[in-house]
Structure 1
Amino acid sequence: MISKKTFVSQLLMVTALSVGHNALAAERFSVKDWGNSLENSLSEKSGKTTLNLLDFNKLESKVIGSSSDSKIKQKIQKARELFAAGKYSQSLALYNEVPRGSDYWFQIVEEKGWAYFRQNDSEKALAQSKTLLSPQFAEVVNSEAYLLQSLAELKICDYKSVFKTTQMFKEKQRDRIASVQALTKEGFNDAFLTVLKKVDKFPLQATEVGESLLKLPVLYYKDVELQKQMLRFKLSQKGMEVLAAKNVQRTLQTQLDQINKEAFINMKVRLQELANNETADNKRVIGKLNLVEVEAIQRVHTDQKLADAAYTKNDFKDTNVDQLVFKDDGRPWIDELDKYDVVTKSCAQNVRRKM
C-alpha cells in the first residue's frame, strides 16, 4: 500500500502540471478573509456590509454555484452525450480538451478508456487503465477502472493479467471500499472531519483534501451540495467566533449557531447519499469482476488446446528521433502517466466467443 505522504506528494505533482492552476487557486474564496471582513464591518458599524457578508445563500451561489470548473463539467457532460450516441471519436476529442491537472482527470481517463473499448481498441483502452492503476493512484480511482482493465484483458485473451487485475482490486481497493461502506451508516469519519477542520478555501481542490481520498467517495469534494453545506458550516463557525470576540449581537450568534448545527446535519446526510451511491456501484463492479474471472478460467482450459499458429501478434508503432521509449517496469514517472502505448497478442482466430 502506498504511504499517505507519498500519495499526497504524487497528487501535488500531477496537479501542478495543470496550466493556470495557481491562477485559479488565487481566485478562490477564503473563510479567513471573510471573517476579517466581517470583523471590520462590525468595527465600522456598517450594517449594510455586515448583512451582505451574512447572506449565505448569495455567497454559496457566488462561490460554489459558479465555480471555475463549470466549463469542464459542461465538456464532460457533452462528451458523455456523444458517447451515449455512439459517437466515440467525437467524445474522445472533447475528453482530450480537459487538462491533466484537472480534479476530474481520473474520471476523464477512465471514460476515455471506455470509449476506446467501445471502439474495439483494447490496446488504447488498456493504455488508459494502466495510467489509472499505476501505483500512485490504484487505491483512490473509481473501482470501474479495474473492470475496464479486466474486460480489455479478457477481450485480448490475456487471462494471466485478468487474474492479476482482479487480485490487485482486492488488495488496493479493499480498505477504501470498506470505509465508504461504513459511511452509509455513520455519515462521518475521521478523514472527513479532518478536512472540515483545516479547509479554508472554496471551491475545494484535491491538493487540500489529500489523504481523505483514501477513505471517502471518489470526487466527494467536488459535490456541489456537500461543498455548500461545508461552506455554510465554516462561515457560521467563523461568524460566531468574530461576534463572540466582540461580545455583540447575541441574537445573531444564536441564529448562526442554528445554521451551524443544520449544516452539520446536512453534511452528514449528503455524505451518506454519496457513500450509498458509490457502495451500490462498487457492488455492481465486484459482481462483474467475478463474472470476468469465471469467464477467464473457462477460457484458459479451452485455449490451452489451441496451437500457437492460431494467434497473431501486433507491433509497437514506429518512433522518431525526437521520442524516447522506455519499457514499463511497473514504476512510472509522473510525466509518463497518460502516455502509455500498449501492444497485445490477439485472441485465437476462428473461435466463437460471446463478449
Structure 2
Amino acid sequence: MKLPLTFLLVAASILAAAIDRCDCKVVQFIFGDSLSDVGNNQYLSRSLAKANLPWYGIDFGDGLPNGRYTNGRTVADIIGDAMGLPRPPAFLDPSLTDDVILKNGVNYASGGGGILNETGSLFIQRLCFYKQIELFQATQDVVRAKVGGRAADKFFQSARYVVALGSNDFINNYLMPIYGDSYKYNDQSFISYLVNTLGAQLKLLHSLGARELMVFGLGPMGCIPLQLVLSSTGGCQERVNNLALSFNQATSKLVDGLSKTLPNASFRFGHAYDVVNDVISNPGKYGFSNSNSPCCSFGRIRPALTCVPLSKLCKDRSKYFFWDEYHPSDTANQIIAKELIKKFGFAAINQTEAPSAAPEPAVAPSSDG
C-alpha cells in the first residue's frame, strides 16, 4: 500500500517531536573560581583549596559547610535568585542526574581555578576554565542522550551563562614568583595573554550554544585582607589594583566585540570595582564597621588564609565586608550582586517555581573582634 506524501510528512513531524521533546525551563551554567564554587572542590580528594570546615556556610541553610567560600551566598546565588533562576548544583556532586541538570543547570566553578591552565597549581587539584568547559561538553552529551539533539540545542541556547574568573590568575599565578608566568611576562603582556586566552574560551562556549552570557569583572584585589597584610604599609597594593583595572578594561572591550561579531550572541561585561572600592574606603556609608580584616580569623595571627574550626568569629557578621582573607561575606556579596544587577539590567525570568529563599542566619560562637 502506497501512503500519501502528506501523511508521511505529518508522521515524520510527529515522530521528530516525540523524540526531541523537552519541557525545559531556563537554567544557569556557571563557570568560575572560589567566588562562585558551590562544592566542586569538596569532591577533589587532593585539592588544598576547600571550604569544607566550619565556619564556612554558617549563615546558609543548616549552617554546615557546603562548599561555598563564605558564610552565606555567592554573588551568582543572589543574582540568580533575583532573576528567578534555580541554583545550579556542583557538577561533581554525586547526586547530579540528567533530570537535575534539566531542572537546575550546573555549576562548574572551582576554588583556585583560573582562566589559564597553569593557575592555581599550588593547590594540586582545581578545575581550570578549559577543564570546566570540557565538563560542560560532557553535560551536553548527557542532555542530548536524554532529550534529543534539537531539544538540547534549544535548552542550551536559552540558558544563561556566567563566567567569573581571573583573580587567581593574578594572585595565585602571576604575582607569585614560584610560577613561570611571573618572570615570563610583564604586566601588560600578561594581561594580553590572559585576555586572549579568555577570548578563545568564550568563543568556544558560543560554539557550544552559549548565547546569553555574563562576564564578571575583578574587584580591587589589592585591598583584600591578604594583600593588606603582605603590604609594607598595611594599605591597599596599588599595583595589584591597577592590574585588576587593566584586566577589566581589556575584558570589557573583548566582550563587547564578541557580542557584536558572534551570531545571536548577547555577551555582557559587568564589574563592581568602583562600588567595592568605595565600600572599602567608606565602610560606614554602607553599614559596615570593618572592611580591612576578616570576620573569621585567628585574631592577631595573620594571615590565617582560611577559616577553620579554631578560628574566632566577629560579633556581627553582617558588619564585616570580608569573611576570610580572600572572600567577601554574604552581606558584601549582596552589595556586589545589586551593583551587577543594576549594570546588567537584569529582569526576572518566568519560572514555574519561586526563586530560592535567602539563607537564615545561624547562631555561632563569636569573639569580641
User: If the TM-score is normalised by the length of the shorter chain, which range does it land in?
Assistant: under 0.3
Considering fraction of residues, name the structure with more helix.
1
* TM-score with structure 1 setting the length: 0.27
Q: TM-score, normalised by structure 2?
A: 0.26
